[in-house]
A and B are shown apart, each in its own frame.
Chain A
Amino acid sequence: MKIRASLTRRVFGRATTVTAGIAISALALSALPANAANDPGVTDTEIVLGMQLPQDGPASPGYNKVDDAMRAYFDYVNSKGGVYGRKIRLEVQNDEYKTGKTITTASYLINKAKIFAFIGSVGTQTHLSVVKDINRRGIPDLFVNSGYSGLYTTPSKYPTTFGGLGTYVSEAKILGKYMKATFTTEKIGILYQTDDFGRNTVAGLASAGYTFEARKTAATFVAGTQKDGLDAQMTQLKDNNVEVVVVGAVASAYAAAVASANKIGYKPKKWVVISVGSDATTFQTILYTKGIPLATSAALLGGTITSSHAPAPADATDEFVVAFKKINTDFNKGDKAWDNNVLQGMNIAYQMTSLLVNVGKTGVTRKNIISYLEKNGSSITGAGFAPLGYSATSHVAYTGFWVGAYDATASLKPVGATRQMWTTDSGTGPVTELTWTRPAIGADSLPKGFSAK
């Protein structure tokens, strides 16, 4: 028995030593640095971009159309020969708006799909889980579909991340200015999700002079729980005689709030909603699934005040809307229903194409892209009525918004006779009028300077 035990020990010991040796050697071999080469995801014939977004789950309605819209525009560019001969391929991963999953999908895009850059990723919470890693690797993280100012206002923290929307803070400040001028006697309350989105909205309104009382004029919910209804929150605001409700939440939450208010017989004088939460299609689709006909939901949306940096999707006079609508019809292989999400997706793809055109045929490196955006960000054009605010000290996208109200057909119209643009920062700076003329769309709906050779 003793001999057997000692033999086992010897065999085990020797085997362990040998295997450990093999493991360490293999580890050392595999850790040798790869040959220095071009950035991943770029060849003479192709550029691979990646994005992650919720394609299903409670946070997906509306936003799950952005990727198809982006791909449609890139397919259009590819049909024209690509940018300097390089076709653009968009790799998409569904993170279901689950933070743990986003870390895996980002790893897939970086390590398996070998993308050159992230583009248009949707969601703040999910993006926060990967932004540090993306930046550490020096991967451009462009046109992020989140208005959370914390991602963009300190470029030293996230040097490769650039926004794709205005910030919630600046938007809330502009809406706050409008409210101050319009609702002089009404009692104002707020419904917000207890994350960066909601808290940025509260911060922006505070800059405009609005404060709210917890459990009285401020009703909150955890993002994702809106699918169970927001009856308690609406009852709270009703009981506290709130006449104007500001909503700092996603569109599914706004729809849930309206449905709950309707259910308990609460009729606020006005709803003021941050643009991300007021998308008409998402709002109507969600209410439709709750048995509310489209005509009724359009009427419920009617009068809602919101803001936008871009043209209204229903604005048939806008050249970008007209061009993008046609490309959507011809190239979109997913959900073609034209709305704000499709417009945003198309616009991001247009801006990305513009960026690739501007950096030149030989300039498509990760370092160049970031440096170009910091130095010449405002030269990247698109459908927005405000310039991109990129610089070495800020990676905030749009710094201007116009205020509008939905009509009874769910179309957003300016609150005044004409569209008036306002601008502000994401801090405590004042809200002032913006005078800037948007450059015209390029020939053939392609950015100026586009070349396939």
Chain B
Amino acid sequence: MFKKNMIRALFFAIAILLVGTFLDPYNQSQLSVALIIFIAVLSITLLTGASGQISLGQGALMAVGGYASALTILNFNLNLWLAIPIAVLVSALAGLLLGVTAARLSGPYLAGTTLVIALAIPSLANRFESVFAGEIGFSVDFGSSPAWLNKVIGDVPVEKWQLIVTVIFATIALFFALNILNTRTGRSWRALRDHDIAASLQGVNVGRSRIFIFMVTSAFAGMAGALYGLRGIVSPSVYAVSLSLSLLTAAILGGIRNISGAMIGSIIIVFLPDWIGAVTSRLSVPTRISDYLPALITGLLLVATVVLSPGGLSGSIHHKKHK
């Protein structure tokens, strides 16, 4: 299973790099964003889809990752290859703390608590301004590709370098997600989701498992947050509540219970405004209307998904395949 998952993850990386090669720089940059969102949505796939716990605050855990990596890069002069793993560890620790609280909660209580966290964590940057730089935030970026890579494949433009970095981390995230879902751990999480008392009778430690789930999924969100910040800035406005809601939207549209759903949802969320823009500019729709269309169409798609295909797009495909 371990090897199979590794091959799957490598195939994913190669496919993305191949696709990226044929895209223009703008779409390469958009593809990088989709991959970052994919990593964040994976945290929801595992947390809500696999283990049945609702979180409206994944954006806040992304903020933890973003600030951890920015502070590491700026204060200790470390590169992103070290800063991101540190951000992942810090986010996992934050997830551990959240898990301790959340283990006792479920349903709307858990959703409410995580929403409060989504609101509170970014505003801490203003409260402790000397550490987190308030609204101005930290200016960080992906930097440039290393000289050895430039020697091997020629000068690598900024967008392509972003894509290479995000592909590497998305592949790592995918590999871990596949291993979690397809092993005993994943089965125990699903058991917990379907019937926690039955899971408990089968030897699953409910409380400890829930804390562990929060820890692991926060690590995913932290990784995504660190990469998201490296696009230019780490500040409270980057990790607003709307980000948490966008992640949830992507998870539902794509399908919250499987990994392919996370990828489909992320691509929809990131590229839909561009696709709408391409159509509206051809039809010469005034900007005062076209500016509102992405939000409107996303909302309609969300309603349609919940009503017509609760398993999301990937759920529909899976259903058709097995009919």
Binding site for B on A (CB under 8 A): 9, 12-13, 15-16, 19-20, 22-24, 26-33, 55-56, 94, 96, 98-100, 103-104, 107-108, 110-112, 125, 128-133, 136-137, 150, 193-196, 199, 222-224
Interface residue ranges of B266-293 to A (CB < 8 Å): 287-288, 291-292
**Pairwise interchain contact B14-A222, C-beta atoms closer than 8 A:** no
Q: Give which listed residue, B17, B139, B157, contacts A23 with CB less than 8 A.
A: B17
Chain B residues closer than 8 Å to A193, beta-carbon distance? 135
Chain A residues closer than 8 Å to B240, beta-carbon distance? 98
**Pairwise interchain contact A111-B291, C-beta atoms closer than 8 A:** no
Q: Give which listed residue, B26, B123, B158, contacts A222 with CB less than 8 A.
A: B123
Interface residue ranges of B139-168 to A (CB < 8 Å): 139, 141, 152-160
**Pairwise interchain contact B152-A23, C-beta atoms closer than 8 A:** no
**Pairwise interchain contact A129-B24, C-beta atoms closer than 8 A:** no
Chain A residues closer than 8 Å to B14, beta-carbon distance? 16, 19-20, 23
Most chain B CB atoms below 10 A, which of A22, A27, A193, A195: A27
Chain A residues closer than 8 Å to B33, beta-carbon distance? 104
**Pairwise interchain contact B126-A26, C-beta atoms closer than 8 A:** no
Q: How many angstroms between the C-alpha atoms of A205 and B182 in the bound complex?
A: 62
**Pairwise interchain contact B7-A16, C-beta atoms closer than 8 A:** yes
**Other contacts beyond A16-B11, A27-B21, A104-B29: 11, CB < 8 A:** A23-B14, A28-B154, A99-B237, A103-B233, A108-B26, A125-B237, A132-B141, A194-B126, A194-B134, A195-B135, A196-B136
Known contacts: A19-B11, A99-B237, A196-B135. The answer to whether A133 contacts B158 by CB under 8 A is yes
B126 CB, nearest partner CB in chain A, Å: 5
Q: How many angstroms between the C-alpha atoms of A128 and B3 in the bound complex?
A: 44
Chain B residues closer than 8 Å to A9, beta-carbon distance? 3
Known contacts: A27-B153, A99-B235, A99-B237. The answer to whether A104 contacts B30 by CB under 8 A is yes
Q: How many angstroms between the C-alpha atoms of A96 and B228 in the bound complex?
A: 18
Q: Is the interface of A mostly helix, strand, loop or mixed?
A: helix
Q: How many angstroms between the C-alpha atoms of A98 and B295 in the bound complex?
A: 14
**Pairwise interchain contact B26-A195, C-beta atoms closer than 8 A:** no
Q: How many angstroms between the C-alpha atoms of A131 and B233 in the bound complex?
A: 10
**Pairwise interchain contact A133-B232, C-beta atoms closer than 8 A:** yes
**Pairwise interchain contact B26-A112, C-beta atoms closer than 8 A:** yes
Chain A residues closer than 8 Å to B292, beta-carbon distance? 56
Q: Give which listed residue, A26, A56, A132, contacts B291 with CB less than 8 A.
A: A56
Q: Is the interface of B mostly helix, strand, loop or mixed?
A: helix
The 8 A-B residue pairs with the shortest CB-CB distance, nearest first, are A195-B135, A111-B26, A28-B153, A129-B233, A31-B154, A111-B25, A26-B21, A129-B232
B65 in the interface (beta carbon within 8 A): no
B38 CB, nearest partner CB in chain A, Å: 16
B28-48 toward A: CB 8 Å interface, digit per residue (1/0)? 011001000000000000000
Interface size on B, residues (CB 8 A): 49
**Pairwise interchain contact A195-B136, C-beta atoms closer than 8 A:** yes
A222's closest neighbor in chain B, by CB?
B126
What are 24 A-B contacts defined by CB distance under 8 Å?
Answer: A16-B7, A19-B14, A20-B14, A27-B153, A31-B160, A32-B154, A56-B288, A99-B233, A100-B231, A100-B238, A100-B243, A103-B232, A107-B26, A107-B159, A111-B26, A111-B159, A125-B135, A125-B237, A128-B139, A129-B233, A129-B235, A195-B135, A196-B135, A199-B134
A415 CB, nearest partner CB in chain B, Å: 32
Q: How many angstroms between the C-alpha atoms of A100 and B141 in the bound complex?
A: 13
Q: Give which listed residue, B24, B155, B242, contacts A31 with CB less than 8 A.
A: B155
Q: How many angstroms between the C-alpha atoms of A158 and B237 in the bound complex?
A: 22
**Pairwise interchain contact B238-A27, C-beta atoms closer than 8 A:** no
Q: How many angstroms between the C-alpha atoms of A406 and B265 in the bound complex?
A: 52
B238 CB, nearest partner CB in chain A, Å: 5
Chain A residues closer than 8 Å to B134, beta-carbon distance? 194-195, 199
Chain B residues closer than 8 Å to A196, beta-carbon distance? 135-136
Q: How many angstroms between the C-alpha atoms of A104 and B11 in the bound complex?
A: 28
Chain A residues closer than 8 Å to B126, beta-carbon distance? 194, 222
**Pairwise interchain contact B136-A128, C-beta atoms closer than 8 A:** yes
Chain B residues closer than 8 Å to A223, beta-carbon distance? 135
B254 in the interface (beta carbon within 8 A): no
Interface residue ranges of B299-318 to A (CB < 8 Å): none
Q: How many angstroms between the C-alpha atoms of A425 and B14 in the bound complex?
A: 54
Most chain B CB atoms below 10 A, which of A30, A100, A222: A100
B3 CB, nearest partner CB in chain A, Å: 7
B4-23 toward A: CB 8 Å interface, digit per residue (1/0)? 00010011001101100110
B25 CB, nearest partner CB in chain A, Å: 4
Q: Give which listed residue, A27, A222, A224, contacts B17 with CB less than 8 A.
A: A27
B210-241 toward A: CB 8 Å interface, digit per residue (1/0)? 00000000000000000010011101111010
Q: How many angstroms between the C-alpha atoms of A60 and B240 in the bound complex?
A: 18
Chain B residues closer than 8 Å to A24, beta-carbon distance? 153
Chain A residues closer than 8 Å to B18, beta-carbon distance? 19, 22-23, 26
Most chain A CB atoms below 10 A, which of B153, B160, B237, B291: B237
Q: How many angstroms between the C-alpha atoms of A22 and B154 in the bound complex?
A: 16
Q: How many angstroms between the C-alpha atoms of A193 and B228 in the bound complex?
A: 25
B11 CB, nearest partner CB in chain A, Å: 7
Chain B residues closer than 8 Å to A13, beta-carbon distance? 7
B229 CB, nearest partner CB in chain A, Å: 10
B255 in the interface (beta carbon within 8 A): no
Chain B residues closer than 8 Å to A103, beta-carbon distance? 231-233
Most chain B CB atoms below 10 A, which of A16, A194, A224: A194
B139's closest neighbor in chain A, by CB?
A132
Q: Give which listed residue, B3, B129, B152, B159, contacts A28 with CB less than 8 A.
A: B152
Chain B residues closer than 8 Å to A30, beta-carbon distance? 21-22, 160
A105 CB, nearest partner CB in chain B, Å: 10
Chain B residues closer than 8 Å to A194, beta-carbon distance? 126, 129, 134-135
Chain A residues closer than 8 Å to B238, beta-carbon distance? 99-100, 129
B242's closest neighbor in chain A, by CB?
A98
Chain A residues closer than 8 Å to B237, beta-carbon distance? 98-100, 125, 224
Q: How many angstroms between the C-alpha atoms of A24 and B153 in the bound complex?
A: 8
**Pairwise interchain contact B232-A132, C-beta atoms closer than 8 A:** yes
Known contacts: A128-B139, A194-B126, A195-B136. The answer to whether A94 contacts B159 by CB under 8 A is no
**Pairwise interchain contact B159-A125, C-beta atoms closer than 8 A:** no
A24's closest neighbor in chain B, by CB?
B153
B52 in the interface (beta carbon within 8 A): no
Known contacts: A26-B21, A104-B33. The answer to whether A128 contacts B137 by CB under 8 A is yes
**Pairwise interchain contact A33-B3, C-beta atoms closer than 8 A:** no
Chain A residues closer than 8 Å to B160, beta-carbon distance? 27, 30-31
Q: How many angstroms between the C-alpha atoms of A129 and B136 in the bound complex?
A: 9
A126's closest neighbor in chain B, by CB?
B237
Q: How many angstroms between the C-alpha atoms of A16 and B171 in the bound complex?
A: 14
**Pairwise interchain contact A125-B3, C-beta atoms closer than 8 A:** no
A440 CB, nearest partner CB in chain B, Å: 36
**Pairwise interchain contact B10-A16, C-beta atoms closer than 8 A:** yes
Q: How many angstroms between the C-alpha atoms of A22 and B7 in the bound complex?
A: 17
